Amino acid sequence: MNDMTNHITSDKTVLCITLNPAIDMTITLETLTLGVVNRATDTQTTPAGKGLNVAHVLSELGINGVASGFLGRANDELFRALFASHADIKSIEGIGKMTDGFIKVAGSTRINVKLVDNGRTTDINGQGFVVAQDDKTALIERIDALIDGVDAVLVAGSLPNGFNADDFDELLSHLTHRHDKVAVDVSGEALSVTIKHKLWLIKPNNDELSAVFGGDMTDLDTQKQAISQIPSIKNILVSMGGKGVHWFVDGGIYRGIPPVMTVKSTVGAGDTMVAGMIFGLLTNKAPTDVLRFATALSAHAVAIVGVGVPEPLHMNKLLSQTQVEKLS
C-alpha cells in the first residue's frame, strides 16, 4: 500500500463551485428531546457548503482550492475571515491555498442548524439569497477568468433560489466545454441533469441514485444496471454510508469498506470522500490506493464535527483498517 499521508504543497489547483453555500451552526447534545429545553454540550458556527468543504479538505492535503459560486453580501463575515486566514498559507509546508472567487449577491447566505445527538444529525436548513440574472452572468464571467489555471473543476451542493435546473444544465455545458475534468456532487433534479453530461467524476449516494433510477441502490447489480445508462461519466462513486462505496471506472469496479467508527456527525463525510478522490486522481495514484485513501478519509470525517484531515499516524491506522477490493 502506497503511503499517501505525507502531503507536500502541490502545484495542483481545483476550482470548487458552491452555488448555495451556508453558515452551519452545529449544536451537539447528549440527547435531543422534543418539546423541552435542551442544553448543548458544544456549538460550532462555520462557513460551509459542499464545494467549500471540499476546497477546505483539499487545502489540508496540499492542493490549492479556488472557492467560487454565490455568496450573500449581508452576512459574509465568516467567509471573509476564512479566506483571510489562508492568505499567507503558502508559508506553511504541506498546506494548499484556498482563495476567494465568489460572486457577492444581494441578501444573506442561508443558515443551517444541525442538531447532533448520539451520532444522529437533524438538519434544519434555512432560506437564503435569491440569484438574479446579472449574478448568473457574473458567475460565468468569473469562471472564465479562473478556469484556464486549474487542474479540475467541482460543482457541489444544492441550487439556490432563482437558479433552476435549466440554469444548472447551461452551467455544466459551459464547464464541460471549457475543461475536461469536471466533477459534480448534487442530488435530486440537479442529479438528473448531471447524468446527461460528459463528466470526469460524480458521487451520488445510494438514495440519490435510487431517486433517479429507482430500485434498491445498495445492491451492486442494480447499481450496475443504472450506471450502464450513463456511459459518458468516467468515474462514478456510489456511497452507501457505513456499508462502503462502489467505484465504477473504465477497467473495473472497486469496493471500499471503511473501518467501524464512533459517529459524531455525518455532515461533510461525502464532501471529504470527494476531496480524497480528487486528490488521488490528480496525483496519479493507483486505483486501489485512491479508493482506500478516500474511504479512510471519509471515515475520519464521521468521527469529528466539521471537516478536516487527520494526523499522519492516525491516517495510517485508518488506511490499514480500510478494505478495498476489485470486483471486476
How much is the average pLDDT of 205-216? 92
Residue 266 binned pLDDT confidence (cut-offs 50, 70, 90): confident
Active site residue 219: no
pLDDT tens per residue across span 62-86 = 999 999 999 999 999 999 999 988 7
Residue 132 lies in a domain: yes
Cα distance between residue 297 and residue 267, in whole Å: 13
Number of domains in the chain: 1
Residue 5 lies in a domain: no
Residue 3 lies in a domain: no
Residue 4 lies in a domain: no
Cα distance between residue 167 and residue 121, in whole Å: 31
Residue 3 binned pLDDT confidence (cut-offs 50, 70, 90): low
How much is the average pLDDT of 243-266? 90
How much is the average pLDDT of 295-315? 88
Question: Which range of residues forms the domain containing residue 313?
Answer: 13-326
Residue 183's Cα: distance from chain center in Å?
10
**What pLDDT does 90 receive?**
54
3-state secondary structure of 80: helix
pLDDT tens per residue across span 88-120 = 655 455 678 899 999 999 999 999 998 988 878
Residue 258 binned pLDDT confidence (cut-offs 50, 70, 90): very high
Report pTM: 0.91
**Which of 123, 207, 271, 289 is an active site residue?**
271
Residue 1 lies in a domain: no
Sheet with 120-125: list strands edge to edge: 42-48, 22-29, 110-117, 120-125
Residue 273 lies in a domain: yes
